[in-house]
Amino acid sequence: MENDRHMMRAVKVSLAANVVLCIIKAGAIIVVDSIAILADLGISCIALAVSVILYYAIKVSNKPADILHNYGYGRIENVCEAMEGVVLIGLALAMSFQAIMFIIHPDEVHAPLVGFLCSLASVAINFWGSYYILKLARKSASPALRAEGVHFKLEGYISLAISIAFVLIILATKAGYKTAAIYIDPAATLFVSAVIAVPSVRLLKEAFIKLLDASIEESGQIDVVKVLARHIDKYCNFKDLKTRSAGRKRFVDLHIILPEHISIRKGHQVISDIKADIHSAITESEVTIRMVPCEKDCDFAREKKDCPYLK
Amino acid sequence: MEISTRKEKDVAVVTVSGRIDAITAPDFEGHLDGLIVQGNKLILINLSGLGYISSAGLRSILSSAKKLKGLSGEIFFTGLQGPVEEVFQISGFQSIFKIFPSEGEALNNF
Distance of CA A245 to the CA centre of its chain: 13
pTM: 0.76
In the structure, how many helices (H) and strands (E) does chain A have?
9, 3
Q: Is B91 on the interface with A (CB under 8 A)?
A: yes
Query: Which one of A209, A215, A218, A222 would you mutate to disrupt binding with B, by most B Cβ within 10 Å of its Cβ?
Result: A222
Least confident of A201-210, A215-224, B24-33, B37-46: A201-210
Question: Cα dist. B93→A103, A201, A232, B20 in Å?
Answer: 61, 38, 10, 16
Question: Cα dist. A40→A110, A162, A299, B71 in Å?
Answer: 17, 9, 71, 67
Q: Do A230 and B56 touch (CB under 8 A)?
A: no
Q: Do A237 and B66 touch (CB under 8 A)?
A: yes
Q: Do A218 and B55 touch (CB under 8 A)?
A: yes
Q: What angle do CA A148, A151, A153 make, to 5 degrees?
A: 115
Question: Cα dist. A144→A8, A29, A45, A210 in Å?
Answer: 12, 30, 18, 12
Q: What is the pLDDT of residue A144?
A: 79
Closest chain A residue by Cα to residue B94: A229
Distance from CA of B91 to the nearest CA of A (A): 5
Q: What is the pLDDT of residue A266?
A: 93
Closest chain A residue by Cα to residue B65: A237
Q: Which of B55, B63, B72 comes nearest A237 by C-beta?
A: B63
Query: Which one of B55, B75, B95 would you mutate to disrupt binding with A, by most A Cβ within 10 Å of its Cβ?
Result: B55
> What residues of chain B lie within 8 A of the CB of A234, using their CB?
none
What domains are there in chain A, each with its CATH number?
Answer: 2-211 (1.20.1510.10), 218-310 (3.30.70.1350)
**CB contact at 8 A, A81 and A206:** yes
Distance from CA of A223 to the nearest CA of B (A): 7
What domains are there in chain B, each with its CATH number?
Answer: 2-98 (3.30.750.24)
Closest chain A residue by Cα to residue B92: A226
Q: Do A237 and B96 touch (CB under 8 A)?
A: no
Question: pLDDT of B81-105, one tens digit each?
Answer: 999 999 999 999 999 999 999 999 9
Q: What is the ipTM of this complex?
A: 0.92
Closest chain A residue by Cα to residue B58: A225
Closest chain A residue by Cα to residue B88: A226
User: What are the pLDDT tens digits along chain A (311 aa)?
Assistant: 667 777 888 888 888 998 999 998 888 888 877 777 787 788 788 888 888 888 888 888 888 888 888 888 888 888 888 888 888 888 788 878 877 877 887 777 778 888 889 889 999 999 999 999 999 888 877 887 888 888 888 888 888 888 888 888 888 888 888 777 778 878 877 887 887 788 888 888 988 888 888 899 999 999 999 999 999 999 999 999 999 988 888 999 999 999 988 899 999 999 999 999 999 999 889 999 999 999 888 888 888 888 888 77
Question: pLDDT of A180-210, one tens digit each?
Answer: 777 887 887 788 788 778 888 888 898 888 8
> What residues of chain B lie within 8 A of the CB of A229, using their CB?
62, 91-93, 96
Q: Is B54 on the interface with A (CB under 8 A)?
A: yes
Q: Would you call A241 helix, strand, or coil by DSSP?
A: strand
CB–CB contacts below 8 A, A to B? 49
Q: Amino acid letter at A141?
A: A
